[in-house]
Structure 1
Amino acid sequence: MLFIILSGMKLYSQNTYVFFGSFNRDKANNGIYVYELDTIKGKLSKITTVKGILNPSFLTLSPNGQYLFACTESKTKNAGSVSSFEFNPGKKSLTFINSQRTGGENPVYITAHKNGKWLINGNYTEGSLSVYPVSENGFIQPRVQNFEYSDGSIDPDRQERSHIHSTVFSPDYGYVFAPDLGADKIRTYTFENSKTEPLSEAEVSFTQTTLGSGPRHFAFHPNGKFAYCIEEMGGAVSAYTYDNGKLNSIQRINTHSEKGKDNFESSDIHISPDGRYLYASNRGLENNIAIFSIQNDGTLKTVGYQSTQGKHPRVFTLDETGKFLIATNSVSGDAFVFKRNAETGLLKKTGKKVKMFGVSSVQIRKY
């Protein structure tokens, strides 16, 4: 907790909260966890938990931080939903609002428009993405659009059909990018906020990735000129220049060390707020975060690797200051806080291990 003195000697506090989602498999177990982060020591303290919601595997926050949205019923046969919760930092409470069907099985990613009025969800199993209006009170309205694809790629075991794995807005929120692991494409859409059906396929409707690479998560550089896609099956990050909805490939670099070269399970990708470093997680044999420095032309150079201290780092994130990185290990069921060296980009574990069954997603927010 950080206390700040204003003119007139008023005193108020700023608190940083961390939200964890999980594969809880049973509504009787906790599915969402809220912790407070000590921004001096990097220690996590539990605030509240939520039961009664099945497999809230991926989380995102509304732009104002008032609402938490979750992919729910992930990996649940013949089911799939997105759910909304209200977070009250004063009461330190998280309260369920409502859920809506996704129209597809196994929702894996959800993102919010900067105005807080729209959600876009990606469904892995059917290879679809859905669009939902959001009311001012955080209530998710029924979906107004659903795009589904059937094309696959060269791996008959993993790429028999489309598998949308993330949905990411462009820096100006005029486009949405959806890496498709099954089809080896980064699909592109225009987004027009004023329309009742805001999403439509862009003029250049997709960027082809390396066949068999399995594009998964996607991140833009803070300067808006570069974009990066982590490829789950290929164990690589592809770097692109970006301009007005169009991607131009400039590099493809391994995320893994020699140790993990025969077992690719690359997962998540994030860029430090200062734009100097890119971080990518590897599951499988390595269970680490690969660290890259970002050059002036947008290309990457490998800096090193940091163990996540557990198994299967599905999702990680950085706080808005870039001081901390928090990683979740879904198989070992634990999360760790790392302090980031802003000059070298390297990570150092701090605080104690936090145990959470099936923990699979994390978001950080200062209030």
Structure 2
Amino acid sequence: MGKKYAAYVGSYTYIGNSKGITILDVDTENGTMKKKKEVRVNNASYVSASRDGRWLYSIADDGIVSFRILPGGDLERMGKASIRGMRGCHISTDHANQYMFVSGYHDGKVTVLRMNEDGSVGEITDGFYDKGIGSIAERNFRPHISCSRLTPDEKFLCAANLGIDQIKIFRFNRETGRIKLVDAIRCELESAPRFLRFSPDGRFMYVISELKNYLSVYSYDGSDGYPKFELLQTISTVGKKHSNVNAAAALRFGQDGKLVLCSNAGDNSIGIYDRDETTGILTQRVVLPISGEYPKDIGMMPGGKYLYSVNHETSTMTFFTWVPEKNYFYMHTAPLRIDQPNCCALVELPE
């Protein structure tokens, strides 16, 4: 029998009819998803699975909710942990699932939590409130931590602050769970670095900038105990013909790391890029519409044949067939209705 997958879509619950997390059965052969059930979490604006696919974590108004992922894809609620701050917007974990890092858009805070042996979220080990002033009222004026991830060697924590156009670099102490600020990448003024991801081999960091609508490629080297980042490239997230008002949104890798995917609100499109594994440089292949509004999250299904888009403003998910030899994708099934979706975690289910 082939591998089985489930998708978990987090939604706002203050408007619409969503309960919080929608569980979907995933058909990787036909590139479709089907609603299975909903799980109640207040304003599940971001969900993230552990690296081994055993646990799912969700943002909630009052902290982080943890679940055990069952063999059929259902969720068993394990508990809730406070982050002692305003509601988070992003979650990441280390490879061993010993620590969690929560980003705070509203209060500009990074929170580090130690994980319990059963996969639930434990105590806070450290936190950092960023400071500074940007240039554009509200969106790019005050600190907004939108994403924080460890470098692949897990020596440093990188926190993207779209409010002050910086990526703060912290040294991470695995024994204590403490972080110490050691450097900062100062991005272009009013670029708003939103999300960052590292290549599978750990040599390159990719950053999507919300307001300037481009992807940045950095080389990374932490071999001598100090973080070294060098900007190699910036490349537009939109095509030659695009909407006049845009905001770059999601950033993902294809299954094998050879493709990079991004999305654009306003333009309501997905861009697909070839990634040179040796140099890290990106080459744009195509940017096409997603048949919805505000694609907050996107992804490629296992096998690399199908794409999906999580469209916040139209409360839909749309599904596409990727035709690499012709550089285009097309919608192959009807949109799936999900109220106020924000993100999607696609997980290989445990046996």
Query: TM-score, normalised to structure 2's length?
Result: 0.91
Task: Compare 95-104 and 107-116 and name the one that shifted more.
Answer: 95-104
Task: Compare 344-353 and 80-89 and name the one that shifted more.
Answer: 344-353
What amino acid does structure 2 have at the position aligned with 1:41? N
Task: Compare 145-154 and 26-35 and name the one that shifted more.
Answer: 26-35
| Distance of 1:230 and 1:238 partners within structure 2 | 6
Deviation at 1:179, TM superposition (A): 0.8
**1:71 and 2:59 are equivalent in the alignment:** yes
> Any stretches of 5+ residues in structure 2 without a counterpart?
none
| Distance of 2:186 and 2:296 partners within structure 1 | 24
Q: Is the 8 Å Cα contact of residues 184 and 211 (structure 1) preserved in structure 2?
A: yes
Counterpart of 1:171 in structure 2 is 152
Deviation at 1:366, TM superposition (A): 1.6
Counterpart of 1:333 in structure 2 is 315
Matches within 5 A, 1:92-241: 92-193=73-174, 195-202=175-182, 205-241=183-219
**1:37 and 2:17 are equivalent in the alignment:** no
**1:278 and 2:260 are equivalent in the alignment:** yes
Deviation at 1:349, TM superposition (A): 2.6
Deviation at 1:146, TM superposition (A): 1.1
Deviation at 1:329, TM superposition (A): 0.4
| Distance of 2:161 and 2:212 partners within structure 1 | 13
- SS of the residue 1:238 aligns to: strand
What amino acid does structure 2 have at the position aligned with 1:300? L
- SS of the residue 1:227 aligns to: strand
CA distance 1:188–1:36, shift in 2 (3 Å): same
Indicate the structure whose relative CO is greater, using CA pairs within 8 Å and at least 6 residues apart: 2
Task: Compare 340-349 and 34-43 and name the one that shifted more.
Answer: 340-349
What amino acid does structure 2 have at the position aligned with 1:225? R
Q: Is the 8 Å Cα contact of residues 179 and 185 (structure 1) preserved in structure 2?
A: yes
What amino acid does structure 1 have at the position aligned with 2:169? T
CA distance 1:268–1:95, shift in 2 (3 Å): same
Task: Give identity over the alignment, percent.
Answer: 23
- SS of the residue 2:147 aligns to: coil
**1:317 and 2:299 are equivalent in the alignment:** yes
The Cα offsets for residues 51-79 of structure 1, whole Å up to 9 and x where unpaired, read as 2x211011110122121101112xxxxxx
Deviation at 1:175, TM superposition (A): 2.0
Q: Is the 8 Å Cα contact of residues 255 and 303 (structure 2) preserved in structure 1?
A: yes
Q: Is the 8 Å Cα contact of residues 327 and 362 (structure 1) preserved in structure 2?
A: no
Counterpart of 2:6 in structure 1 is 17
Q: Is the 8 Å Cα contact of residues 267 and 314 (structure 1) preserved in structure 2?
A: yes
CA distance 1:343–1:105, shift in 2 (3 Å): farther
| Distance of 2:212 and 2:165 partners within structure 1 | 10
CA distance 1:267–1:173, shift in 2 (3 Å): same
The Cα offsets for residues 270-326 of structure 1, whole Å up to 9 and x where unpaired, read as 122333221111002x11111222234222222111222111111122345434332
Deviation at 1:158, TM superposition (A): 2.0
CA distance 1:339–1:123, shift in 2 (3 Å): same
Deviation at 1:261, TM superposition (A): 5.7
Deviation at 1:192, TM superposition (A): 2.8
Counterpart of 2:49 in structure 1 is 61
Task: Compare 349-358 and 108-117 and name the one that shifted more.
Answer: 349-358
What amino acid does structure 2 have at the position aligned with 1:224? G
| Distance of 1:331 and 1:280 partners within structure 2 | 17
Task: Compare 312-321 and 343-352 and name the one that shifted more.
Answer: 343-352
Segments of 4+ in structure 1 off by > 3 A?
26-29, 258-262, 319-324, 339-348
Deviation at 1:118, TM superposition (A): 1.1
The Cα offsets for residues 25-46 of structure 1, whole Å up to 9 and x where unpaired, read as 1697421011111111112122
| Distance of 2:328 and 2:158 partners within structure 1 | 29
Q: Is the 8 Å Cα contact of residues 19 and 42 (structure 2) preserved in structure 1?
A: no
What amino acid does structure 1 have at the position aligned with 2:339? F
What amino acid does structure 2 have at the position aligned with 1:329? N
| Distance of 2:28 and 2:7 partners within structure 1 | 11
CA distance 1:54–1:26, shift in 2 (3 Å): farther
Counterpart of 2:275 in structure 1 is 294
- SS of the residue 2:333 aligns to: strand
Query: TM-score, normalised to structure 1's length?
Result: 0.87
Task: Compare 250-259 and 325-334 and name the one that shifted more.
Answer: 250-259
Deviation at 1:337, TM superposition (A): 2.6
Q: CA RMSD in A?
A: 2.1
What amino acid does structure 2 have at the position aligned with 1:33? T
> Any stretches of 5+ residues in structure 1 without a counterpart?
4-12, 74-79
| Distance of 2:151 and 2:303 partners within structure 1 | 21
CA distance 1:259–1:346, shift in 2 (3 Å): closer
- SS of the residue 1:216 aligns to: strand
Q: Is the 8 Å Cα contact of residues 18 and 339 (structure 2) preserved in structure 1?
A: no
